[in-house]
C-alpha cells in the first residue's frame, strides 16, 4: 500500500532525492537561524524562499544535465532576486503594479512553448515580482531581502556542484552543451503563444486587482496562483486547477493542526527539512502532492515570520480559491473575447492585403 502511494506521488530518482535532501538541509539551517535570532530579521526566511524556488528549476532541468541545472539555478537566483526587489518597492500600488504586469507577464506566455528551462526561468522570475508586489519594504530592506533570496539560491547551486559534480561526479547530460539563455528563444513560437500571453496577462491583472483592492492578508497568493495554474493547454490547466485546489485544502488542514499543536519554533524550523524534501521529490510526479507539502511549508514559514495560528492556512485557502476563480473567468469570459478580437483583426488584415 505504502509502496503504491510512494510510487504515485514521490519520485525515486536518485538525483532528485539528492537535490531534495540538499534543499531540505539548507532550508532547515536558514529557518533555525531565523528562530535562533529571535525573529530580529526575516533575512534567513527569504534565503529559504531562494532555496525553494531554485530547487524547482533544478528539478525541471534535471534531464538537461548537472551543469545546465546549476547554470539555470544561478540565473534564476539572480533574476528573481532583482525582480523581488523591484516588486517590493511597488508594494500594493495597484496602478504601477498593473502597468508592470502588462509589460512582463506576456513574456511568460511567449516562453510557454520554449524549452523547459527557459519557460521555467521566465515564469519563476515573473512570479517573484508578483509575490513581492504584494509586500512593501523600504529600499534598504528590499535590497537586503532580494540579496538574501539570491544567496539562498546560490547556496543550493554551490551544494549541487559540491555533491553532484565533485563528490559523486554525476556529469550526465542528454544535451550537447550547457544551457545558455537566449532572449530570442522566448519568441520561437510567437504566433502560437500570443493568444495565451494576452489571456494570462488579463487573468493576472484581475487577480492582482482583487488582492490589492480588497487588501487581502497575504493577498499575493491570488495572482501567484493564477500565474502558476493557467497554462497554454486547457486540459492541463484543468488538471492543475483541481490538484492545486485539493492540495491546498488538505495541506491547509494539516498545517493548521501542526501550527496549533507545535508551539516550539525550533521544531517547526526542523520540519522544513522533510517538507522541502517531499516538495522537490513530488514535483515531477504529482502537482497535487507537491501543493500539499508546499502549503504546509509555506504556512509554517509565514507563522515563523508572523505568528497567526489558524488564520494563515485559512488565508491560503481563500486566496487559492480566488486565484482559481480568476483562471475560470479568464477561460470562460476573456478567452472568447480575445479569440474574437484576434479573428476580426486577421480578417481586416486580409482585406487590406
- pLDDT score of 91 more than 90: no
CA separation, residue 336 to residues 198, 199, 210, 346, 347 (Å): 12, 10, 22, 15, 16
Q: Work out the mean pLDDT of the chain and round it to a whole number.
A: 90
Give the pLDDT confidence of 162-180 residue by residue, as tens digits: 999 888 876 554 445 889 8
> Does the pLDDT value for residue 128 go beyond 90?
yes
pLDDT at position 353 over 50: no
User: For residues 298 and 316, is the Cβ–Cβ distance under 8 A?
Assistant: yes
Residue 191 has which C-alpha cell? 504566433
The whole-number pLDDT of residue 169 equals 74
**298: its cell numbers:** 509555506
- Please give the pLDDT value at position 352: 42
pLDDT-based confidence at 92, cuts 50/70/90? confident
pLDDT at 175: 46
Nine cell digits for residue 153: 539560491
Distance between alpha carbon 267 and the CA centroid of its chain, in Å?
A: 25
Give yes or no for residue 264 having a pLDDT over 50: yes
* pLDDT value for 176: 53
Q: What is the mean pLDDT of residues 85-92?
A: 90
Tell me which residue of 248, 241, 305 sits closest to 272, measured CA to CA: 305
Residue 82 C-alpha cell reads as 532583482
pLDDT band at residue 342 using 50, 70 and 90 as cut-offs: low
Q: 209 vs 335, which has greater pLDDT?
A: 209
Average confidence (pLDDT) over 287-296: 96
pLDDT value for 312 = 82
- Per residue in 105-115, pLDDT tens? 999 999 999 99
pLDDT of 337: 80
Better-predicted residue by pLDDT, 277 or 181: 277
296 touches 258 (CB < 8 A): yes
pLDDT at residue 145, rounded to an integer = 94
Interatomic CA distance for residues 295 and 266, integer angstroms: 19
Higher local confidence (pLDDT), 263 or 250: 250
Amino acid at each position: 500500500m505504502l509502496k503504491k502511494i510512494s510510487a504515485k506521488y514521490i519520485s525515486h530518482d536518485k538525483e532528485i532525492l539528492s537535490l531534495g535532501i540538499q534543499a531540505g538541509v539548507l532550508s532547515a539551517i536558514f529557518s533555525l537561524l531565523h528562530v535562533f535570532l529571535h525573529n530580529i530579521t526575516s533575512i534567513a526566511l527569504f534565503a529559504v524562499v531562494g532555496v525553494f524556488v531554485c530547487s524547482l528549476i533544478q528539478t525541471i532541468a534535471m534531464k538537461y544535465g548537472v551543469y545546465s541545472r546549476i547554470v539555470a539555478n544561478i540565473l534564476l537566483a539572480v533574476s528573481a532576486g532583482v525582480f523581488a526587489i523591484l516588486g517590493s518597492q511597488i508594494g500594493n500600488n495597484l496602478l504601477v503594479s498593473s502597468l508592470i504586469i502588462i509589460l512582463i507577464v506576456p513574456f511568460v506566455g511567449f516562453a510557454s512553448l520554449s524549452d523547459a528551462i527557459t519557460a521555467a526561468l521566465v515564469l519563476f522570475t515573473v512570479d517573484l515580482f508578483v509575490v513581492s508586489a504584494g509586500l512593501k519594504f523600504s529600499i534598504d530592506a528590499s535590497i537586503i531581502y532580494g540579496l538574501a533570496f539570491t544567496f539562498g539560491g546560490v547556496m543550493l547551486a554551490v551544494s549541487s556542484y559540491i555533491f553532484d559534480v565533485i563528490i559523486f561526479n554525476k556529469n550526465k547530460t542528454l544535451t550537447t552543451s550547457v544551457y545558455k539563455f537566449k532572449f530570442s528563444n522566448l519568441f520561437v513560437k510567437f504566433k502560437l503563444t500570443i493568444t495565451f500571453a494576452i489571456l494570462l496577462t488579463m487573468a493576472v491583472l484581475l487577480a492582482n486587482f482583487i488582492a490589492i483592492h480588497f487588501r487581502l492578508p497575504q493577498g499575493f497568493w491570488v495572482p501567484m496562483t493564477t500565474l502558476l495554474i493557467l497554462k497554454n493547454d486547457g486540459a492541463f490547466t484543468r488538471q492543475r486547477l483541481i490538484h492545486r485546489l485539493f492540495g491546498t485544502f488538505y495541506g491547509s488542514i494539516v498545517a493548521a493542526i501542526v501550527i496549533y499543536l507545535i508551539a516550539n519554533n525550533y521544531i517547526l524550523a526542523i520540519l522544513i527539512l522533510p517538507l522541502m524534501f517531499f516538495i522537490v521529490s513530488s514535483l515531477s510526479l504529482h502537482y497535487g502532492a507537491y501543493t500539499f507539502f508546499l502549503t504546509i511549508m509555506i504556512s509554517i514559514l509565514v507563522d515563523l515570520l508572523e505568528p497567526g495560528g489558524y488564520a494563515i492556512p485559512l488565508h491560503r485557502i481563500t486566496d487559492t480559491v480566488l486565484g482559481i476563480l480568476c483562471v475560470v473567468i479568464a477561460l470562460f469570459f476573456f478567452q472568447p473575447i480575445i479569440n474574437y478580437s484576434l479573428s476580426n483583426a486577421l480578417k481586416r488584415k486580409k482585406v487590406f492585403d
